[in-house]
Amino acid sequence: MSNIIVKDRNGNIEKISANSGMTLMEIIRDAGMDIEAACGGCCACATCHIYVDSKWLPNLKEKEEDEESMLDQVFDVKENSRLGCQIEFTEEISGIEVELASE
């Protein structure tokens, strides 16, 4: 079964079922976790800021210019910061571990 593992802002960890073709933001949002995603996934707000466990970074596509630009506007940016709306879930990243960034 495909899934992602998400650590919320309180340190709780949830294993969420995931379907290919959805973004990590959509999967987290649809599971009822506390991710704002104000722009609905248009890479226009950065409210789906997450930290990807560093061991998974090589499995992801590089950040595009729009994502880099949005991340420049948020607090607590780290090397492993990404926008959940810009990472499409595939079977290759089943089990990916992410943490919700602070609001």
User: Could you give all domains of the chain from N- to C-terminal order, each with its CATH number?
Assistant: 3-100 (3.10.20.30)
Nearest to 96 by CA among 19, 1, 3: 3
Residue 74's pLDDT band, with cuts at 50, 70 and 90, is very high
DSSP element (H, E) containing 67: helix 65-71
Q: Is the pTM of this model over 0.75?
A: yes
Spatial separation of the C-alpha atoms in residues 8 and 98, rounded to whole Å = 9
Question: What pLDDT, on the 0 to 100 scale, is given for residue 91?
Answer: 96
With contact defined as beta carbons under 8 Å apart, do 44 and 70 qualify? Answer: yes
Task: Check whether 103 has a pLDDT greater than 90.
Answer: no
Whether the per-residue pLDDT at 27 is higher than 90: the answer is yes
Q: How confident is the model at residue 1 (pLDDT cuts 50, 70, 90)?
A: confident
Q: Would you say residue 52 has pLDDT above 90? A: yes
- Residues in CB range of 52: below 8 A, 6 or more apart: 60, 80, 82, 87, 96, 97, 98
